[in-house]
Every structure is written in C-alpha cells, then in structure tokens.
Amino acid sequence: MRSATKLEGTQRPRSLEARIYAIYSSLSPAEKRLADVLLQYQMDLPSYTAGELADKAHVSKATAARLIRTLGYKTYPDAKRQIRTDQHWGAPRGGLADPDRAPSEKVLIAQTVQMDLDNIRTTAESLSDKTLQDVTDAIVSARRVWIMGLRSGYGLAHQAAHYLTLMKNDVQVLPAGGASYSHEIASIAEGDVMIVIAFRRRPRLLPTIIKEARAAGAVTVLITDLSAAASAKAAEHVLRCRCQSPSPFNSFVAALTIINYLAWSVATAMGEDSLKRYEKIDRLVKLLDDVSTPQTNVGR
C-alpha cells in the first residue's frame, strides 16, 4: 500500500515531479487529475491554496491532503517550500530520484516501451475531441501553416511540416535559418495557423510571439507539456502531452502521436484535394529524387 512512510523509508525523489512520476501509475483517477494539476501549476504553486488546486482538479480537499502525504510531504506548505528551492525544475534529470548522481540502474527495453505507452494513453485520454476537431478544421482551411519548434520541439516541428506539406501548399517552419523573429512573425496574417511545439524551459518570449500571431488573425495551437502556463494562456488551442520518464531524458512519443493524428485527420478532411497533391508529389519524387525502390535497390 502506498504511504508517506513507505516513501520516507527509501531514497525519496527530490523534486515534486519526480515524486509524482514515481507513483503516478498507482494513483486513483481522482489523484491522477490532481497530480496533473500539480505538474501544470508547479511553478505557481506558492500562489495557490490546497483547496484551490483541489477545485481545479475537481477532487475533494481530503483527496488533496492524502496525495500530498503520499508524495512524502508532511503538509502542503512543505511542498510549496520545495518548489521555491528546487534547482532542477525543467531539466531532464529533474525527474530522477537523485538528480545529483549519474543513473546506474539497468535499463530494460520493456520498461521504456511501457513508459511510452503510458504517456501516449494518458495524453490521448486527456485531449478534447472538440479541440482536436477545431485544430484539424483550422489547418484544413488555413491560407498558410506556420510551425515553430523550440529547443526539443525543433525536430518535431520538421516532422509535422514533412507530413503537412504532403497535403498543404504553403507550410513554413520557424525559425528559418538566418531570419529574425520580427521578420517572420510580421508575415503571419489572418487566415493562417501557427503551430508551436515547445516543452519545459520554454523561451520567455514565447507568450509574446503567440500573442502577436493571434493578434495578426492566426489560429494559434500550442503542443506542450503539463507545465506550460503563460504560453498556454496565450494560445487559442493547447494540446498537452505527458512526457514523464524515469530516465534523464524526456519522452516525446505522445507529441509525435498527436502530430501523426493531426496529419491523418487533416488528410481525411481534405479528401480528394489531399490525394491530388500527394499524387503530384509522388510523381515528382520519381522524376526528380534519386531514391531506391524495390526495382532499383540493388547495391543500395
């Protein structure tokens, strides 16, 4: 049975998120909702009472008090003091039991697979069907799609652009090489969609960028983790991903699943228009790109 005593008797995780990750799979649905709220508001935790956070998660105060104790804190104020002094927030190693030591436990592929499946499943369960449909509709009707990937979101942005360019004529990845934010954001106009992919340690200017894009008339979509605050408030649509990991690295498989879903959803919604562009690209690949095929794969 989970208890504060059990956590105290082992090497207890130091950060709030590490404590949550260590027991998340064993929490009840109500406790998971509250745990998600704690992760989402952890940087602003000192500004909220336990009752206010319980209300946000739609759980009782008793549930909140029980979860705080299960996480190894004597009281809610203890948890708030932890956040004020935490030096590892946002760092991948912040999820480790001891972020000041190199990991030494044996890593199993099955453990990694299970972790990623849990992230995908939990993320999917938390997403609103209406939000996903609204984002799909916005991309389908967009004059131009801008995709901004910051830090660890950079590669995911290019993956999303690779898929969407198979269906849409005008898809731009930001930041472009050598360009300034001011020049790029100035080109965003009404009828555009701006998809921002950014996790943890987001640049401080991100909320301003999103607000400027929205003021220009673009539909703004933020793909991020549970901790996004100011940037999430600035965006019109927010798709939050669970990125938890017992390793020194964050897991982004849930974000990739969202990208896969949106690409499929957009292609289905565009119907024949999507198929025509794909067929045109396929013809040009055979004409212009030197790629191997089952017939030409000898020696490659």
Reported as a pLDDT band with limits 50, 70 and 90, residue 26 is confident
Sign of the Cα pseudo-torsion (221, 21, 76, 123, in order): positive
Opening angle at CA 196, ends 190 and 202, nearest 5:
135
pLDDT over 70 (residue 96): no
Q: Taking residues 151-164, report their average pLDDT.
A: 93
Domain end among 79, 98, 117? 98
Same domain, 66 and 214: no
Residue 85: per-residue pLDDT = 63
Reported as a pLDDT band with limits 50, 70 and 90, residue 110 is confident
Same domain, 140 and 38: no
CATH number reported for the structural domain that contains residue 13 in this entry = 1.10.10.10
Burial category of 185 from C-beta neighbours within 10 Å (exposed 0-12, middle 13-18, buried 19 and up) = buried
Residue 164: domain span? 127-288
Instruction: Report if residue 122 sits inside a domain.
Output: no
Same domain, 212 and 66: no
Residue 88: per-residue pLDDT = 46
Same domain, 92 and 202: no
Residue 125: per-residue pLDDT = 87
Instruction: Report if residue 264 sits inside a domain.
Output: yes
Residue 92: per-residue pLDDT = 52
Residue 126: per-residue pLDDT = 85
Residue 12: per-residue pLDDT = 41
CATH number reported for the structural domain that contains residue 242 in this entry = 3.40.50.10490
Do the beta carbons of residue 211 and residue 219 sit within 8 Å? no
Prediction pTM value: 0.73
Top pLDDT among 178 and 6 is at 178
Instruction: Report if residue 74 sits inside a domain.
Output: yes
Q: Taking residues 152-165, report their average pLDDT.
A: 93
Instruction: Report if residue 121 sits inside a domain.
Output: no
Instruction: Report if residue 165 sits inside a domain.
Output: yes
Same domain, 83 and 131: no
CA–CA distance, 118 with 120 (Å, rounded to integer): 5
Instruction: Report if residue 106 sits inside a domain.
Output: no
Instruction: Report if residue 211 sits inside a domain.
Output: yes
Same domain, 140 and 224: yes
Same domain, 159 and 60: no
Per-residue buried b or exposed e for 45-83, using 16+ beta carbons within 10 Å of the residue's own CB: beebebeebbebbebeeebbebbbbbbbbeebeebbebb
Tokens representing 53 are 């956070």
How far from chain centre, in Å, is Cα 265?
19
Same domain, 157 and 36: no
What tens digit of pLDDT does each residue of 237-292 get? 999 998 877 677 788 999 999 999 999 999 999 988 878 887 888 888 877 877 77
Mention every residue, 6+ apart, whose C-beta is less than 8 A from residue 15.
82, 86, 88, 89, 94, 95, 99
Same domain, 235 and 90: no
pLDDT over 50 (residue 13): no
Nearest in space to 94 (alpha carbons), one of 172, 141, 144, 39: 39
Same domain, 94 and 132: no
pLDDT over 50 (residue 6): no
Q: Which residues pair with 145 in a beta bridge?
A: 171, 193
Instruction: Report if residue 79 sits inside a domain.
Output: yes
Q: Taking residues 97-104, report their average pLDDT.
A: 52
Whole-number average pLDDT of the chain:
82
Do the beta carbons of residue 204 and residue 210 sit within 8 Å? no
What tens digit of pLDDT does each residue of 54-82 get? 999 999 999 999 999 998 888 888 888 77
Same domain, 189 and 63: no
CA–CA distance, 284 with 290 (Å, rounded to integer): 11
Residue 238: per-residue pLDDT = 95
Reported as a pLDDT band with limits 50, 70 and 90, residue 23 is confident
Domain end among 98, 118, 146? 98
* Count of the separate structural domains present in the chain: 2
Same domain, 187 and 57: no
Do the beta carbons of residue 20 and residue 96 sit within 8 Å? no
